[in-house]
Amino acid sequence: MNFNKALENIKVYEAGKPIELVVREFGINDKDIVKLASNENPKGCSPLVQRAVSDIVAKMALYPDDSMMKLKEGLSSHFNIAQNEVIIGAGSDQIIEFAIHAKASSTQTILMNSVTFAMYEVYAAHVGANIVRTKSREHNLEEFYALYLEHKPSIIFICTPNNPTGDATKREELLLFLDKIDSDTLVVVDGAYMEYGMYKDEAYAITPSALIKKYDNVLYLGTFSKAYGLGGMRTGYGIAQEGIINALYKLRPPFNITTLSLEAASVALEDQAFVKDSMELNASEMKRYESFADENSMEYIESYTNFITLLLGTAKNSTDIASALLRRGMIVRDLSGYGLNAIRVTVGTQKQNSRFFELCTEILKG
Ligand SMILES: *Cc1c(COP(=O)(O)O)cnc(C)c1O
């Protein structure tokens, strides 16, 4: 059968290996498997969410509230924005999809970092858009600006803090960059890890309200999958001026968010103490990763997220290291597909991280 030609350029996205697969492939007991591959919150989610969700199970026969009023109210007061300045997606992934479908086509260009979130490219391929990437591994906004002048992209993706490298862009730098971009170019600021970045250093804190007050061409993305520990609930959001939100709404399928997800996200947003505890755990465990890397003469990229990218140099191969870890029940991300000889490790619980150090030491010696 012949399919839409655009599909020929799409590689199926390889998500972090689920634990179930490792159980089946390697016959390892699931309690001996540690997954540090998808930047999930090792603390799980707020206990308030667990209670709220079990209370709501009785309502599952009914379609969800498609106005998403409760979650929109929550986001609106949390971020100090109007309710018509937000759209909720099945993960912020879905908002990326809407944004690309709304603003790009096969005659247009999308500008992004050399190494960045893989889904931008997947959705760009849906519409056959041309992709231009910077050369630097980390976001370099001067390079972005030169390519912007040269290629006149219809969308620019700035992922800060960036996945899978963990580096971030300073607020001042981003604002100076945005000042120079014409208002018909959509700039997507993907803040999936912003809670971590702003906890580490205020100079990297970028709030959606500050962006959209000043710029009518910026779409800020956030998610409940990382800091809030709700990856399984598939809930994210986009914040922009009303004109952008209205355009994205035309692409939104009705009932794109389940009743359980809406409730979970609303309650999670109210428990900021849980988020703060998660940030503290992450920061102290991140220090252990940095010490581990230093002790083993391993380079790493300073991280503003809940993962660390360990650079393996020329002596070791990231694919070999990742598969050696996998055989021992430790799931991490091999970044060879991104052109980096590196592994990305999600910062887990103290115990999970200790296990990583133990296994990694064993493999590096061998
Ligand atoms: C995880 C992630 C997202 C979105 O995740 P969802 O689970 O779809 O909300 C978006 N951007 C980046 C950079 C991410 O790492």
Residue 279 CA to residue 197 CA, distance in Å, equals 10
CB contact at 8 A, 317 and 327: no
- Taking the CA of residue 190 as reference, the ligand 1 atom at the shortest distance is 11
- Taking the CA of residue 225 as reference, the ligand 1 atom at the shortest distance is 7
Residue 278 CA to residue 280 CA, distance in Å, equals 5
Ligand 1, atom 2, residue with closest C-alpha: 192
Report the separation in Å between the CA atom of 19 and the middle of ligand 1, taken as the mean of its atom positions.
20
| Bridge partners, 345 (sequence order) | 308
CB contact at 8 A, 110 and 154: yes
Residue 274 CA to residue 279 CA, distance in Å, equals 9
Segment holding 89, helix H or strand E: strand 86-89
Span(s) in the chain for CATH 3.90.1150.10: 10-39+273-365
Residue 285 CA to residue 357 CA, distance in Å, equals 12
* Residue that is written with structure tokens 């790009």 in the block: 104
pTM of the model: 0.96
- Taking the CA of residue 94 as reference, the ligand 1 atom at the shortest distance is 8
Q: Give me the CATH code for the 47-270 domain, please.
A: 3.40.640.10
Alpha carbon 29 to its chain centroid, in Å, reads 29
Report the separation in Å between the CA atom of 15 and the middle of ligand 1, taken as the mean of its atom positions.
11
pLDDT in tens, the chain (366 residues): 988 888 887 878 777 667 888 788 888 888 889 999 999 999 999 999 999 998 898 888 999 999 999 999 999 999 999 999 999 999 999 999 999 999 999 999 999 999 999 999 999 999 999 999 999 999 999 999 999 999 999 999 999 999 999 999 999 999 999 999 999 999 999 999 999 999 999 999 999 999 999 999 999 999 999 999 999 999 999 999 999 999 999 999 999 999 999 999 999 999 999 999 999 999 999 999 999 999 999 999 999 999 999 999 888 999 999 999 999 999 999 999 999 999 999 999 999 999 999 999 999 887
Ligand 1, atom 15, residue with closest C-alpha: 163
Span(s) in the chain for CATH 3.40.640.10: 47-270
Whether the CB of 163 sits within 6 Å of ligand 1:
yes
Yes or no: is domain 10-39+273-365 CATH 3.90.1150.10?
yes
What SS3 class is residue 161? Answer: coil
What residues contact 281, with CB distance under 8 A and at least 6 apart?
A: 42, 43, 349, 350
